[in-house]
Amino acid sequence: MTRVAAALVLAALAGCGKSEPAGDPLETEAYRQWKGSQYMRRLPAANFATTTPGRVEILPPRERSKNPGDFCEVYVNGEKVGRFNTAHLPDGSWPVNYFEFTFLTGPNTLDLWDTTTNRYYRESVDTRQCVQFQCAPTADGYEFKWINRKVPDLDK
């Protein structure tokens, strides 16, 4: 056996019996499946597509949050925006989570994963009607609120 082959065998044997490090317990199988499905939700954006700036605020689920690692993860049109802490901060206060985003002008999809319910929430939003949204916790999940929504005048 050559030295290289012997070194490879020894390296392989050295790894035997070692378990992989434990992952984040909040990243459940349901979360991993949801996260993997986001790739299919991506909307193609042509170079000529117009965009609209907007804002999304994520309120913490105070009644449900029991774990210091609780988080919400947000995707817009299948693109990850970020992961936001929704648990108590060390000083006892609650985090203020928001992000400003450049949406495609028109329809967009807003997806939110919440570790306190181990579920996702999806909302179709349209920047021609509203550019500011709030993800507000409810007793059993999240509700998407459209702030200052423009209502079309049907009398015209």
Nearest to 38 by CA among 67, 92, 80, 87: 80
Q: What amino acid occupies position 47?
A: N
**pTM across the whole model:** 0.74
In this predicted model, what pLDDT tens digit does every residue of 88-131 receive, in sequence order? 999 999 999 999 999 999 999 999 999 999 999 999 999 999 99
Nearest to 82 by CA among 95, 90, 72: 72
In this predicted model, what pLDDT tens digit does every residue of 17-57 receive, in sequence order? 444 445 677 888 888 888 888 877 776 655 567 899 999 99
Q: Give residue 9's pLDDT.
A: 45
R_g of the chain computed on alpha carbons: 21
pLDDT band at 147 (very low <50, low <70, confident <90, very high): very high
Structural domains of the chain in order of their starting residue, each with its CATH number = 49-156 (2.60.40)
pLDDT band at 69 (very low <50, low <70, confident <90, very high): very high
Handedness of CA 120, 35, 95, 25 (dihedral sign): positive
